[in-house]
A and B are shown apart, each in its own frame.
Chain A
Amino acid sequence: MNDTGNSTNKHLDEITLLLYVERQLDRASAQEVSLHTQTCERCLTLLRALDRESRLLTRSMLEQDEPLPARLAEFHAQARKSMQWIWGLVFGMALLGIYSLYTVYIEPWEQQFEQAGFGGTNLLSLLVFQGAFWKGWQSMFTLVEFVALTSFAAFAFFLVRKYLKRGTALAVMFASMSLLMMTAASTPAQSVKIDTDMKGQKLEVKKDEVLRKDLYFAGSQLRIDGTVDGDVYAFAQEVDVSGHVTGDVICFARSARITGQVDGNVRSFTNNVTISGTVAKSVTTMNEDTRLDSAGKVGHNFSAFSQIVTVDGKVGRDVLVMFNEATISGTIEGNMKAKGESLTIASGAQIGGEAKFEGEKPADVSSGATLASPLQFTKIEHKSRTERGVGHYIWRVVWAGAWILLGLVLISLMPGFARETVESAERYGASFGLGVLVFFGVAIASLIACITIVGLLVGISTFFLWLVALFSSYVVVGAVVGCWILGKSTDFWPAVGRMALGVIIVVVATGLPHVGGWIMFGVWLWGMGAISLALYRRLQPMIAPNIPSMPAGPISTPLPPNTTVSPA
């Protein structure tokens, strides 16, 4: 405790008096102050002033000068509204994703296939909506109709949601989904009633047997020596068609062998496929080993994406092959387009149209081969990662810009969620752990859902949500990195600036040679985990609705001073 002035005019300093008022002095010092203020008018006045100042401060602070803002009173509702934004955005981005996927991947493939003679059949409809997989869907649903129907249902649900209680809403949702699935499943399946659906370890259609419906088989071995008047769908270890199939043969098998006659197409996703019979239409295979034997005939096109491709038989139209090693020794009446490591055109081979090969080294063309026009060779240039062209860097800049734009939109539309996501990302262990789960688990789950007819809706939706999260992970990690560098900010533009800086750093880091790929993988896991964690926390029950805008809390009454000083 300090006194100021001389012995006749000694005054206590202000801090001592304040500590006395605040009851922070020990007993001895407090007694000294008490004694002093009994005789010193100035110190007593200051002490009283400090005490009154304390009361004024407390009163000023505790006065209820403004009601609880509606935004806070309806905190829960606000959170739900922001979730609606999220779903709206997610749905919009899903549509964008579909469009991008179509234009970037499917359309070029479609053109390739069309060039290869698939005519009006495009890959999308082939794989998703065409009869080969889901017969009848095409007549009911195009992609646009499907999306439009889903959008309409979601919009209708959004409109009537306030009239529905939670339980009712869930019931309506599940009932609608069930109805949709039942419709989807039953309508196209009417013509393929499951009485011919054979499930078992082995199935044999004997030589004189005629099956006049489509055949679905899941088991270890399928052998068709007789006739199937319809399509064959097989999920088996071994598929052997030595009889006659009037429709298509679609098989997912370890080994497939076509020695008989198929009037339709053959689509094969197997370890190895050998065709030594006749396929009236086209063959599409994705295998390790694809072989068209010398006795094999393909009426239309032959497309193979395999490690080893051997074409020893006859192809009526075009050939499109991608491979490591290919040998052509048969007859191709149309064009040939080949891409791979090593191509041999052996003696006796005949190619009626153009022949193009894109590879690392020129094809080995035997003098005994007959080509309508010389083989056009294009060498594949392998640029090392360190020798990236200008285009690569331009695209990196474009991508960085796209991510920053996405981040800007996300932060402006969902500031609260954006902040929560960044906070979630700062929980590194939880984010990475959940990221691993989501990255692999959701992708696999959506794939599994997609390959079942009933789960198509769920599968595609889940997959696009997964893609959105993957895309957004750069923004999330960028925002965290920005905060590391510049500190956190809750204001809009500073937050955007930090995110932009972080995104640029992340884009540069992921572009580094050797480690860039690993960094990118880490960014995906981390970002996806953070988004999932934030979503999970949002979806947890939080605050009950109906919070009054002007509640009377425990501190609502004015405070009397509790710092009373007895100047004695």
Chain B
Amino acid sequence: MEPLRPGHTSVPGKTEPLDLIAQARAGDTQAWGDLYREFAPAIFRFCRRALPSKEDAEDATMEIFMKLRDKLAQYDTSRSFSAWLYKVAANHCWDILRRRKARHEKDMDDVDDIPLEAPEPNQLERLIEERTSEEVRKALDKLGARARMALVMRYYSDMSYDEIADALGVRRPFVGVVLLRARHELRQALGENTALAMGGTR
């Protein structure tokens, strides 16, 4: 059986928790508890990947679930609940990161048009071979907000390019560029302390 993916919308055998949602909408505390129990860990990990600190992620998770109370009425039950939930979470995290733009970020608005040099394939293979998941997670912390957000939306919650474009406020054709630049940033961060010189890094 195919394992579940947060944002996966068409996993065979997976049913949407429609009953729970209906009960939660009606104010059923137990249903809220069940929904929270089911989705809070995933949303927390999403926030943990997307935001700079654990405290931020905890705050954001709580805020997202508080928001959920108001927004649940807007949920279209014909669509995937988890996908919708990730969209809410992505928008919330991106809002948080945007608010910090003035202090930390420099690349939030426009897609950078500096051309990227293609990496040396073998070096890239070697880099990927040698890096662990933990190192990748640590390297994520060094990325700019948009790069990090794009990678999390795509590779954690499996959001579509359209959804990513919508959340980040970029045009759909630029999503690939954003993701590619994010990967370059990540490679640079991963290779920063090693002798590996990535051909395509900025």
Query: Measuring CB to CB, which residues of chain A are less than 8 angstroms from any residue of chain B?
Result: 4, 11, 13-15, 18-19, 22, 24, 42-43, 45-46, 48-50, 52-54, 56-66, 68-69, 71-72, 75-76, 78, 416, 419-420, 486-490, 537, 540-548, 551-560, 562
Q: Which 10 A-B pairs have the closest CB atoms?
A: A544-B33, A45-B121, A60-B136, A60-B133, A46-B121, A61-B156, A541-B29, A557-B3, A57-B155, A49-B124
* Residues of chain A with a CB closer than 8 A to B29's CB: 541-544
Q: How far is the CA of A171 from the CA of B27 in the complex (A)?
A: 23
B41 at the interface (CB under 8 A from A): yes
Report the minimum CB–CB distance from A41 to chain B (whole Å).
9
B40 touches A69 (CB 8 A): no
Select which of A14, A59, A542, A555 is within 8 A of B180 by beta carbon: A14
Q: B191 on the interface (CB 8 Å rule)? A: no
Can you add 10 more A-B contacts, CB < 8 Å, to A24-B161, A65-B133, A545-B33? A14-B118, A19-B176, A45-B125, A52-B128, A53-B128, A59-B133, A420-B66, A544-B29, A547-B40, A562-B158
In-complex Cβ contact of B41 among A11, A63, A68, A562 (8 A) = A68
- The 8 Å CB contact of A68, one of B28, B44, B100, B183, is B44
The answer on a CB contact under 8 Å between B183 and A544 is no
A66 to B48, Cβ gap below 8 A? yes
B69 at the interface (CB under 8 A from A): yes
Asked whether A53 lies within 8 Å of B183 as measured between CB atoms, the reply is: yes
B122 on the A face (CB < 8 A) = yes
Choice from B14, B133, B161 contacting A56 with Cβ under 8 Å: B133
Q: Mark B149-189, 1 if CB is under 8 A from A, else 0.
A: 00110111010010000000000000011011001001000
- A24 engages B176 (CB within 8 Å): yes
Residue of A with least CB distance to B183: A53
Q: How far is the CB of B149 from chain A (nearest CB, A)?
A: 12
Q: With both chains docked as a complex, state the minimum distance between the C-beta of A87 and any C-beta of chain B, in angstroms.
A: 20
Taking a contact as CB atoms closer than 8 A, the residue among B32, B96, B177 that contacts A543 in the complex is B32
Does B84 touch A at the CB level, under 8 Å?
no
A46:B119 contact, CB within 8 angstroms: yes
Contact: A562 with B42, CB < 8 Å? no
User: Contact: A490 with B59, CB < 8 Å?
Assistant: yes
- List residues of chain B with CB within 8 A of the CB of A18: 176, 179-180, 183
A14 in contact with B119 (CB, 8 Å): yes
Complex CA–CA separation, A551 to B33 (angstroms): 12
Give the docked Cα–Cα distance between A267 and B106 (Å). 72
**Interface, chain B (partner A; CB < 8 A):** 2-6, 14, 27-30, 32-34, 36-42, 44-45, 48-49, 54, 56, 58-59, 61-63, 65-66, 69, 82, 95-96, 99-102, 116, 118-119, 121-122, 124-125, 128-129, 131, 133-134, 136-137, 140, 151-152, 154-156, 158, 161, 176-177, 179-180, 183, 186, 200
With the chains together, A62 CA to B3 CA distance in Å? Answer: 12
Least Cβ–Cβ distance between B127 and chain A, in angstroms: 8
- In whole Å, how far is A489's beta carbon from the nearest beta carbon of chain B? 6
Task: Please report the C-alpha to C-alpha distance between residue A59 and residue B56 in the assembled complex, in whole angstroms.
Answer: 23
Which residues of B lie under 8 Å from residue A54 when comparing CB positions? 155
Q: Complex: how many Å from CA A557 to CA B8?
A: 13
- Pick the contact of B121: A15, A42, A488 (CB < 8 A): A42
A541 & B27 in contact (Cβ 8 Å cutoff): yes
Known: A541-B27, A559-B5. A554 touches B38 (CB 8 A): yes
Question: Are A553 and B152 within 8 A (Cβ)?
Answer: no
Chain B residues within 8 Å of A558, by CB = 3
A61-B152, A66-B48 known; A419 vs B124 contact (CB < 8 Å) = no
Contacts of A562 in B (CB 8 A): 5, 158
B66: chain A residues at CB < 8 Å are 420, 537, 542
A49 touches B33 (CB 8 A): no
Do the beta carbons of A71 and B156 come within 8 Å of each other?
A: no
Residue of A nearest to B151 (CB): A57
Q: Which residue of B lies closest to A44 (CB)?
A: B121
From residue A480, how far is it (CB to closest CB) to chain B in Å? 14
Q: How far is the CA of A416 from the CA of B140 in the complex (A)?
A: 27
Which A-chain residue is minimally distant from B6 (CB atoms)? Answer: A555
> How far in angstroms is the closest Cβ of chain B from A421?
12
22 contacts between A and B (CB under 8 A): A14-B118, A14-B119, A18-B183, A22-B179, A46-B121, A49-B121, A50-B124, A56-B136, A68-B40, A69-B44, A487-B99, A489-B100, A543-B36, A544-B29, A547-B37, A553-B39, A553-B40, A553-B42, A554-B42, A555-B42, A558-B3, A560-B3
Contact assessment for B128 and A49 in the assembled complex, using a CB-CB cutoff below 8 Å: yes
Q: How far is the CA of A554 from the CA of B39 in the complex (A)?
A: 7
Decide if B82 touches A554 in the complex (CB within 8 Å): yes
Task: Identify which of A4, A60, A76, A543 contacts B137 (C-beta below 8 A).
Answer: A60
Taking CB atoms, residues of chain B closer than 8 Å to A22 are 154, 161, 176, 179
The reply to whether B33 and A547 contact each other, CB–CB distance below 8 Å, is yes
- Contacts of A71 on B, CB cut-off 8 Å? 58
How far apart are the CA atoms of A490 and B99 in the complex, in Å?
9
Q: Within 8 Å CB of A50, what residues of B?
A: 124, 183
Report the Cα distance A547→B140, complex, angstroms.
29
A72: B residues at CB distance < 8 A:
40, 44, 58, 61-62
Report the separation of the CA atoms of residues A557 and B36 in the bound assembly, to the nearest whole angstrom: 18
Whether B40 pairs with A554 at a CB distance below 8 angstroms is no
Q: A420-B66, A560-B3 are in contact. Are A53 and B124 (CB under 8 A)?
A: yes
- A311 vs B32: C-alpha distance when bound (angstroms): 70
- Contact among B62, B134, B177 for A75, CB-based, below 8 A: B62
When distances are taken between beta carbons in the complex, the residues of chain A under 8 Å from B36 are: 75, 543-544, 547
In chain B, what residue has the closest Cβ to A542?
Answer: B32
Would A537 and B69 count as touching, CB distance under 8 A?
A: yes
Q: How far is the CB of A44 from chain B (nearest CB, A)?
A: 8
**How far apart are the CA atoms of A65 and B141 in the complex, in Å?**
15
Chain A CB within 10 A, most for which of B28, B134, B180, B200: B180
A14 with B200: in contact, given A542-B32, A554-B38 (CB under 8 Å)?
Answer: yes
Rounded to whole angstroms, the CA-CA distance of A545 and B41 in the bound complex is 15
Task: State A215–B116 Cα separation when bound (angstroms).
Answer: 95
Cβ-defined contact, A15 with B177, below 8 A = yes
A540 touches B69 (CB 8 A): yes
CA distance A69 to B96 in the complex (A): 20
CA distance A551 to B39 in the complex (A): 9
Which A residues are CB-close (under 8 A) to B3? 557-560
Partner of A490, one of B45, B69, B96, B156: B96
